[in-house]
Amino acid sequence: MIIYPAIDIKAGRCVRLYQGQMDKVTVFSEYPVEAAKRWEAAGAKYIHIVDLDATVAGELKNMFVLEQIVKSVNIPIQFGGGVRGMFAAKRLFDIGVSRVVVGTALIKNPAMLAEACAVYPGKIAVGLDVKNGHIAIKGWQEETDINAVEMINELEKLGVSRIIYTDILVDGTMQGPNIKGIKSIAQKTNIPLIASGGISNLKDIKKIKKLKDLGIEGIIIGRALYSGAFTLEEAIKVVDDNVG
Protein backbone atom coordinates (compact mmCIF):
# COMPACT_ATOMS: atom_id res chain seq x y z
CA MET A 1 0.00 0.00 0.00
CA ILE A 2 1.29 3.44 -0.95
CA ILE A 3 1.02 6.62 1.08
CA TYR A 4 0.55 9.62 -1.23
CA PRO A 5 1.44 12.93 0.44
CA ALA A 6 -0.79 15.57 -1.12
CA ILE A 7 0.23 18.94 -2.49
CA ASP A 8 -2.73 21.15 -3.33
CA ILE A 9 -1.67 24.23 -5.28
CA LYS A 10 -3.63 27.48 -5.28
CA ALA A 11 -2.12 30.72 -6.63
CA GLY A 12 1.28 29.03 -6.64
CA ARG A 13 1.16 28.10 -2.95
CA CYS A 14 0.74 24.81 -1.11
CA VAL A 15 -2.63 24.90 0.66
CA ARG A 16 -5.37 22.72 2.11
CA LEU A 17 -9.10 23.32 1.87
CA TYR A 18 -11.84 22.45 4.35
CA GLN A 19 -14.49 20.22 2.72
CA GLY A 20 -13.33 21.46 -0.67
CA GLN A 21 -14.51 25.01 0.02
CA MET A 22 -12.34 27.50 -1.87
CA ASP A 23 -12.92 30.23 0.72
CA LYS A 24 -11.69 28.03 3.58
CA VAL A 25 -8.00 27.89 2.76
CA THR A 26 -5.03 27.19 4.98
CA VAL A 27 -1.65 28.04 3.46
CA PHE A 28 0.98 25.54 4.56
CA SER A 29 3.85 26.61 2.33
CA GLU A 30 4.70 29.38 -0.10
CA TYR A 31 6.99 26.92 -1.87
CA PRO A 32 5.33 23.71 -3.16
CA VAL A 33 8.64 22.57 -4.68
CA GLU A 34 10.20 22.48 -1.22
CA ALA A 35 7.21 20.52 0.07
CA ALA A 36 7.73 17.94 -2.68
CA LYS A 37 11.43 17.63 -1.86
CA ARG A 38 10.54 17.21 1.80
CA TRP A 39 8.15 14.35 1.05
CA GLU A 40 10.66 12.65 -1.19
CA ALA A 41 13.34 12.89 1.51
CA ALA A 42 10.88 11.40 4.02
CA GLY A 43 10.44 8.29 1.88
CA ALA A 44 7.44 9.04 -0.35
CA LYS A 45 7.15 6.67 -3.33
CA TYR A 46 4.59 8.85 -5.10
CA ILE A 47 3.24 12.41 -4.72
CA HIS A 48 -0.35 13.46 -5.37
CA ILE A 49 -0.74 17.00 -6.73
CA VAL A 50 -3.93 18.95 -7.40
CA ASP A 51 -4.15 22.31 -9.17
CA LEU A 52 -7.09 23.83 -7.31
CA ASP A 53 -7.29 26.87 -9.58
CA ALA A 54 -7.52 24.55 -12.57
CA THR A 55 -10.35 22.50 -11.07
CA VAL A 56 -12.56 25.59 -11.13
CA ALA A 57 -11.25 27.22 -14.32
CA GLY A 58 -11.31 24.00 -16.34
CA GLU A 59 -7.81 24.57 -17.67
CA LEU A 60 -4.30 24.09 -16.34
CA LYS A 61 -3.23 27.08 -14.25
CA ASN A 62 -0.14 26.31 -12.17
CA MET A 63 1.97 24.59 -14.82
CA PHE A 64 5.17 26.44 -13.94
CA VAL A 65 5.03 25.20 -10.35
CA LEU A 66 4.15 21.69 -11.48
CA GLU A 67 7.05 21.60 -13.93
CA GLN A 68 9.44 22.73 -11.20
CA ILE A 69 8.23 19.96 -8.92
CA VAL A 70 8.60 17.30 -11.61
CA LYS A 71 12.15 18.47 -12.30
CA SER A 72 13.06 18.63 -8.61
CA VAL A 73 12.12 15.12 -7.48
CA ASN A 74 12.90 11.61 -8.69
CA ILE A 75 9.62 9.99 -7.70
CA PRO A 76 6.46 9.78 -9.83
CA ILE A 77 3.78 12.46 -9.77
CA GLN A 78 0.04 11.85 -9.84
CA PHE A 79 -1.72 15.01 -10.97
CA GLY A 80 -5.30 16.19 -11.18
CA GLY A 81 -7.09 19.45 -11.85
CA GLY A 82 -8.55 20.96 -15.00
CA VAL A 83 -7.90 17.97 -17.26
CA ARG A 84 -10.91 18.34 -19.52
CA GLY A 85 -9.36 17.52 -22.89
CA MET A 86 -6.64 15.51 -24.62
CA PHE A 87 -4.42 18.57 -25.08
CA ALA A 88 -4.18 19.04 -21.32
CA ALA A 89 -3.41 15.35 -20.78
CA LYS A 90 -0.67 15.46 -23.42
CA ARG A 91 0.89 18.58 -21.86
CA LEU A 92 1.07 16.86 -18.50
CA PHE A 93 2.65 13.68 -19.78
CA ASP A 94 5.06 15.71 -21.90
CA ILE A 95 6.47 17.47 -18.82
CA GLY A 96 6.92 14.19 -16.97
CA VAL A 97 3.75 13.58 -14.95
CA SER A 98 3.36 9.82 -14.41
CA ARG A 99 -0.39 9.54 -13.85
CA VAL A 100 -3.19 11.94 -14.76
CA VAL A 101 -6.41 12.15 -12.77
CA VAL A 102 -9.62 13.04 -14.59
CA GLY A 103 -12.68 14.16 -12.67
CA THR A 104 -15.17 16.50 -14.31
CA ALA A 105 -14.65 14.96 -17.76
CA LEU A 106 -16.05 11.70 -16.41
CA ILE A 107 -19.44 13.41 -16.45
CA LYS A 108 -19.02 16.22 -18.98
CA ASN A 109 -16.79 14.59 -21.58
CA PRO A 110 -16.72 10.79 -21.22
CA ALA A 111 -15.53 10.42 -24.82
CA MET A 112 -12.35 12.30 -23.89
CA LEU A 113 -11.85 10.02 -20.89
CA ALA A 114 -12.27 6.94 -23.07
CA GLU A 115 -9.75 8.30 -25.59
CA ALA A 116 -7.26 9.16 -22.85
CA CYS A 117 -7.49 5.64 -21.41
CA ALA A 118 -6.85 4.21 -24.89
CA VAL A 119 -3.97 6.54 -25.77
CA TYR A 120 -2.33 6.35 -22.33
CA PRO A 121 -3.11 2.84 -21.05
CA GLY A 122 -2.47 2.37 -17.35
CA LYS A 123 -1.83 6.07 -16.81
CA ILE A 124 -5.31 7.54 -16.40
CA ALA A 125 -7.05 7.60 -13.03
CA VAL A 126 -10.53 8.88 -12.23
CA GLY A 127 -11.22 11.13 -9.30
CA LEU A 128 -14.49 9.95 -7.81
CA ASP A 129 -15.31 12.95 -5.63
CA VAL A 130 -18.41 12.17 -3.61
CA LYS A 131 -20.77 14.27 -1.51
CA ASN A 132 -23.76 12.62 0.14
CA GLY A 133 -23.32 9.64 -2.17
CA HIS A 134 -23.35 11.71 -5.35
CA ILE A 135 -20.52 12.75 -7.64
CA ALA A 136 -19.36 16.36 -7.44
CA ILE A 137 -17.46 18.08 -10.25
CA LYS A 138 -15.75 21.36 -11.19
CA GLY A 139 -13.53 21.49 -8.15
CA TRP A 140 -16.30 20.01 -6.02
CA GLN A 141 -18.36 23.17 -6.57
CA GLU A 142 -21.13 21.43 -8.52
CA GLU A 143 -22.97 18.44 -7.11
CA THR A 144 -24.62 16.11 -9.62
CA ASP A 145 -27.49 13.68 -9.08
CA ILE A 146 -25.31 10.79 -10.26
CA ASN A 147 -24.80 8.06 -7.71
CA ALA A 148 -21.10 7.27 -7.34
CA VAL A 149 -21.58 3.52 -7.00
CA GLU A 150 -23.62 3.40 -10.21
CA MET A 151 -20.66 4.80 -12.17
CA ILE A 152 -18.37 1.89 -11.32
CA ASN A 153 -19.38 -0.32 -14.24
CA GLU A 154 -18.77 2.53 -16.67
CA LEU A 155 -15.26 3.04 -15.32
CA GLU A 156 -14.38 -0.60 -15.87
CA LYS A 157 -15.59 -0.41 -19.48
CA LEU A 158 -13.41 2.65 -20.09
CA GLY A 159 -10.23 0.98 -18.88
CA VAL A 160 -9.48 3.38 -16.02
CA SER A 161 -6.29 2.35 -14.19
CA ARG A 162 -7.15 3.71 -10.72
CA ILE A 163 -10.07 5.19 -8.82
CA ILE A 164 -9.32 7.94 -6.34
CA TYR A 165 -12.25 8.03 -3.94
CA THR A 166 -12.71 11.19 -1.89
CA ASP A 167 -15.55 11.88 0.51
CA ILE A 168 -15.78 15.66 0.28
CA LEU A 169 -17.55 16.12 3.60
CA VAL A 170 -14.63 14.66 5.54
CA ASP A 171 -11.82 16.02 3.34
CA GLY A 172 -9.61 18.48 5.20
CA THR A 173 -11.59 18.04 8.42
CA MET A 174 -9.31 15.49 10.12
CA GLN A 175 -12.47 13.84 11.47
CA GLY A 176 -11.64 10.40 10.13
CA PRO A 177 -12.21 8.75 6.74
CA ASN A 178 -15.54 7.47 5.47
CA ILE A 179 -14.73 3.78 5.85
CA LYS A 180 -18.23 2.73 4.83
CA GLY A 181 -17.98 4.72 1.60
CA ILE A 182 -14.52 3.42 0.79
CA LYS A 183 -15.67 -0.14 1.37
CA SER A 184 -18.82 0.22 -0.73
CA ILE A 185 -16.84 1.43 -3.76
CA ALA A 186 -14.05 -1.12 -3.36
CA GLN A 187 -16.45 -4.05 -3.12
CA LYS A 188 -18.01 -3.19 -6.48
CA THR A 189 -14.91 -2.95 -8.64
CA ASN A 190 -11.69 -4.70 -9.56
CA ILE A 191 -10.02 -1.36 -10.30
CA PRO A 192 -7.38 -0.51 -7.68
CA LEU A 193 -8.68 2.14 -5.29
CA ILE A 194 -6.86 5.03 -3.65
CA ALA A 195 -8.64 6.44 -0.59
CA SER A 196 -8.62 10.12 0.25
CA GLY A 197 -10.14 12.44 2.82
CA GLY A 198 -10.39 12.81 6.58
CA ILE A 199 -7.22 11.05 7.74
CA SER A 200 -6.49 12.37 11.24
CA ASN A 201 -4.23 9.84 12.93
CA LEU A 202 -2.36 6.57 12.47
CA LYS A 203 -5.42 4.59 13.60
CA ASP A 204 -7.31 5.88 10.56
CA ILE A 205 -4.54 4.52 8.33
CA LYS A 206 -4.73 1.15 10.08
CA LYS A 207 -8.49 1.02 9.45
CA ILE A 208 -7.99 1.53 5.72
CA LYS A 209 -5.10 -0.93 5.66
CA LYS A 210 -7.52 -3.62 6.87
CA LEU A 211 -9.41 -3.14 3.59
CA LYS A 212 -6.32 -3.84 1.50
CA ASP A 213 -7.69 -7.18 0.29
CA LEU A 214 -10.63 -5.32 -1.27
CA GLY A 215 -8.22 -3.65 -3.65
CA ILE A 216 -7.27 -0.55 -1.67
CA GLU A 217 -3.91 0.34 -3.13
CA GLY A 218 -3.08 3.62 -1.48
CA ILE A 219 -4.04 6.50 0.81
CA ILE A 220 -3.76 10.21 0.05
CA ILE A 221 -2.91 12.30 3.11
CA GLY A 222 -2.79 16.07 3.30
CA ARG A 223 -3.68 18.18 6.31
CA ALA A 224 -2.66 15.58 8.90
CA LEU A 225 0.90 15.57 7.54
CA TYR A 226 1.16 19.34 7.25
CA SER A 227 -0.24 19.95 10.72
CA GLY A 228 2.15 17.44 12.29
CA ALA A 229 -0.45 14.94 13.51
CA PHE A 230 2.09 12.30 12.50
CA THR A 231 5.06 12.07 10.17
CA LEU A 232 5.18 10.59 6.69
CA GLU A 233 7.73 8.10 7.97
CA GLU A 234 5.25 6.92 10.62
CA ALA A 235 2.46 6.61 8.06
CA ILE A 236 4.63 4.58 5.71
CA LYS A 237 5.63 2.30 8.58
CA VAL A 238 1.95 1.60 9.34
CA VAL A 239 1.19 0.41 5.81
CA ASP A 240 4.33 -1.68 5.62
CA ASP A 241 3.27 -5.31 5.22
CA ASN A 242 5.32 -6.32 8.24
CA VAL A 243 3.46 -3.98 10.58
CA GLY A 244 0.13 -4.85 12.12
CATH of the domain at 121: 3.20.20.70
Domain annotation covers residue 33: yes
Domain annotation covers residue 244: no
Domain annotation covers residue 173: yes
pTM summary value: 0.91
**What is the per-residue pLDDT across 52-97, written as a single tens digit (0 to 9) for each?**
999 888 889 999 999 999 999 999 999 999 999 999 999 999 999 9
**What is the per-residue pLDDT across 132-154, written as a single tens digit (0 to 9) for each?**
888 887 665 677 888 888 888 88
What pLDDT score does 243 carry? 53
Beta 162-167 vs 2-10: how paired, if at all? unpaired
Please give the DSSP secondary-structure letter assigned to residue 136: E
| Residue positions annotated with a catalytic role | 8, 129
**Domain count within the chain:** 1
Q: How far apart are the first and last CA of the chain?
A: 13
Region 16-41 average pLDDT: 84
What pLDDT score does 168 carry? 80
What pLDDT score does 78 carry? 98
Q: To the nearest whole percent, how much of the chain has pLDDT over 90?
A: 64
Q: Answer whether residue 6 shows pLDDT above 60.
A: yes
Q: Answer whether residue 46 shows pLDDT above 70.
A: yes
Domain annotation covers residue 110: yes
Domain annotation covers residue 54: yes
Q: What's the CA gap between 188 and 55, in Å, rounded?
A: 27
* φ, ψ of residue 156 in degrees (nearest 5): -70, -35
What is the domain range of residue 190? 2-239
